[in-house]
């Protein structure tokens, strides 16, 4: 689960991490009043669950309260599209109005869980700011990585080491070390999956400060953080992803593809996306119906895939275990009938009652190709999408 910058900023503040004075506004007039209180020179920042706002017009530095109101007016009630949002962008309902900080240097600091190291990882760079993705892609050696011991935690000497390696000046090593330790406390106490400060700045008057804050939380640990769960803003989520989530289904939207994938199990989802690629196409989404879904759940899942306007064909790849294939097939027929979809379906089913399931689909008069294995599935998908076979690199597009 993600939260807004203004909410993350409050958590930072409560852990003693220095942040600029700020308030949150949902109208231009509120933004103007905040700007007056903050001395006029402020930054107005669209509150969305996505980064990349600076490059997309979602961060405006202004000199007067009137300009702050105008900047807020230009953001509120619209959708902001950044390279991190879905194509249509996400709605802006609030702006953060923060005292303008005079920046001497922009740094990068994050803590995340590193699967390879099996430990929380502090990642930091002297090259912070809006180009951090280019730094990571082109000059990864400029990113310092220090793992924390999962049991002992982050030691102060590790934090100091990070601060020195990213070029924090000697007189600021002590506050920077404290800041890193406090971010680690947040990461651990709140069961975060990511705490990211970009930029962490050194101000012209010689202070270290968090100028932006992104915190992501581990969904499976939210049950012990009701105060975090209450910060959820469903409007920021993809509508279909939210609908699926509410139905207890795992649906993930993928940009740029045209094949909807229905699977049961995460491993099968990966394999199914590979088949889609082999067929020369890209997945538009995948929906994992999980273990013991009933017919109506399957029908609902099918409806969600069909409502994704990018979908031109549907690949169903199920392994019947706890979920029986005949139940899945009845659910698919139910979903296809209630949505009235004409989209071509390619169905691979194995396991419990697979033959019965395939027969139900064949008898239902749907636009369906049933296949026996994944190789056939790729071929059938290529056919229904009327594209050539995959090239040597697994794709023709």
Contact predicate 52/86, CB 8 Å:
no
Three-state secondary-structure class, residue 294: coil
Question: Among 325, 259, 258, 268, which residue's Cα sits nearest to residue 298?
Answer: 325
108 annotated active-site: yes
Among 212, 233, 300, 326, binds Mn ion (CB under 5 A): 212
Rounded to a whole number of angstroms, the minimum distance from the CB of residue 227 to ligand GDP is 24
Q: How many residues form the binding site for Mn ion (CB under 5 A)?
A: 2
Rounded to a whole number of angstroms, the minimum distance from the CB of residue 17 to Mn ion is 15
Residues facing residue 200 across a β-bridge: 107, 210
The encoded tokens of residue 23 equal 């308030």
**Binding site partner of 129, from Mn ion, ligand GDP, none, Cβ cut-off 5-8 A by kind:** ligand GDP
Stretch that binds Mn ion, among 106-114, 192-200, 352-360, 369-377 (CB under 5 A): 192-200
Residues 141-170, interacting with Mn ion (CB under 5 A): none
The 250-253 sheet, strands edge to edge = 250-253, 283-288, 259-263, 313-320, 345-351, 368-371
Candidate list 30, 67, 99, 196, residue with the active-site label: 196
Residues 6+ positions from 313 with CB-CB distance below 8 Å: 258, 259, 260, 281, 343, 344, 345, 346, 381, 384, 385
Position 2 contacts Mn ion (CB under 5 A): no
**Binding site partner of 390, from Mn ion, ligand GDP, none, Cβ cut-off 5-8 A by kind:** none
**Binding site partner of 53, from ligand GDP, Mn ion, none, Cβ cut-off 5-8 A by kind:** ligand GDP
Contact predicate 288/249, CB 8 Å:
yes
Residues facing residue 46 across a β-bridge: 95
Residues 6+ positions from 57 with CB-CB distance below 8 Å: 74, 75, 80
**Binding site partner of 65, from ligand GDP, Mn ion, none, Cβ cut-off 5-8 A by kind:** none
The encoded tokens of residue 321 equal 């275990």
Q: Which is nearer to ligand GDP, 105 or 238 (CB)?
A: 105
Q: Alpha-carbon distance 120 to 202, whole Å?
A: 25
Q: Which is nearer to Mn ion, 51 or 344 (CB)?
A: 51
Q: Which is nearer to ligand GDP, 129 or 265 (CB)?
A: 129
Residues facing residue 287 across a β-bridge: 251, 262
Rounded to a whole number of angstroms, the minimum distance from the CB of residue 207 to ligand GDP is 13
Residues facing residue 105 across a β-bridge: 202
Question: Among 209, 55, 187, which residue's Cα sits nearest to residue 111?
Answer: 187
**Binding site partner of 96, from ligand GDP, Mn ion, none, Cβ cut-off 5-8 A by kind:** none
63 annotated active-site: no
Q: Alpha-carbon distance 43 to 23, whole Å?
A: 11
Position 198 contacts Mn ion (CB under 5 A): yes
Rounded to a whole number of angstroms, the minimum distance from the CB of residue 51 to ligand GDP is 4
Rounded to a whole number of angstroms, the minimum distance from the CB of residue 116 to ligand GDP is 26
Q: Alpha-carbon distance 240 to 86, whole Å?
A: 12
Rounded to a whole number of angstroms, the minimum distance from the CB of residue 342 to ligand GDP is 41
Q: Which residues bind ligand GDP (CB under 6 A)?
A: 43, 45, 51-54, 59, 61, 100-101, 103, 106, 129-130, 198-199, 211-212
Rounded to a whole number of angstroms, the minimum distance from the CB of residue 57 to Mn ion is 14
Candidate list 6, 30, 67, 108, residue with the active-site label: 108
Residue of minimal Cβ distance to Mn ion: 212
Q: Which is nearer to ligand GDP, 60 or 330 (CB)?
A: 60
Q: Alpha-carbon distance 350 to 355, whole Å?
A: 8
Q: Which is nearer to ligand GDP, 31 or 244 (CB)?
A: 31
Q: Alpha-carbon distance 374 to 258, whole Å?
A: 18
Residue 149 gets which letter from DSSP?
Answer: B
Q: Which is nearer to ligand GDP, 199 or 331 (CB)?
A: 199
What residues are labeled active site? 108, 196
Interface with Mn ion (CB under 5 A): 198, 212
């Amino acid at each position: 689960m993600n939260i807004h910058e203004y909410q993350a900023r409050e958590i930072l503040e409560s852990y003693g991490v220095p942040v600029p004075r700020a308030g949150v506004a949902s109208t231009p007039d509120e933004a103007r009043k905040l700007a007056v209180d903050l001395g006029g020179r402020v930054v107005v920042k669209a509150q969305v669950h996505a980064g990349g706002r600076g490059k997309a017009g979602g961060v405006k530095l202004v000199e007067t309260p009137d300009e702050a109101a105008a900047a807020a007016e230009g953001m509120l009630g619209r959708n902001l599209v950044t390279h991190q949002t879905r194509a249509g962008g996400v709605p802006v309902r609030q702006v953060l109005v923060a005292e303008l900080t005079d920046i001497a240097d922009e740094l990068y600091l994050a803590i995340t869980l590193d699967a390879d190291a099996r430990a929380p990882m502090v990642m930091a760079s002297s090259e912070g700011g809006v180009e951090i993705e280019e730094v990571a892609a082109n000059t990864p050696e400029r990113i310092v990585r220090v793992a924390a011991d999962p049991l002992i935690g982050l030691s102060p000497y590790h934090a100091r080491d990070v601060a020195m390696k990213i070029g924090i000046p000697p007189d600021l090593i002590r506050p920077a070390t404290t800041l890193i330790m406090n971010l680690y406390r947040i990461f651990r106490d709140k069961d975060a999956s990511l705490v990211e400060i970009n930029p962490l700045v050194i101000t012209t008057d010689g202070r270290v400060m968090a100028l932006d804050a992104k915190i992501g939380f581990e969904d499976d640990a939210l049950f012990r953080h009701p105060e975090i769960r209450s910060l959820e803003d469903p409007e920021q989520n993809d509508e279909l992803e939210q609908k699926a989530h509410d139905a207890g289904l795992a649906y993930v939207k993928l940009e740029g593809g045209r094949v909807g994938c229905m699977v049961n199990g995460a491993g099968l989802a990966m394999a199914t996306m590979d088949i889609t690629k082999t067929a020369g196409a890209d997945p538009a989404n995948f929906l994992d119906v999980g273990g013991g879904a009933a017919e109506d759940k399957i029908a609902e899942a099918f409806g969600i895939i069909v409502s994704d306007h990018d979908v031109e064909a549907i690949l169903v790849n199920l392994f019947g275990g706890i979920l029986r294939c005949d139940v899945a097939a009845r659910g698919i027929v139910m979903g296809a009938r209630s949505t009235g979809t004409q989209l071509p379906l390619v169905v691979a089913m194995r396991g419990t009652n697979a033959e019965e399931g395939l027969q139900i689909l064949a008898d239902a008069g749907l636009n369906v190709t049933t296949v026996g294995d994944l190789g056939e599935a790729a071929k059938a998908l290529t056919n229904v999408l009327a594209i050539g076979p995959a090239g040597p690199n697994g794709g023709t597009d």
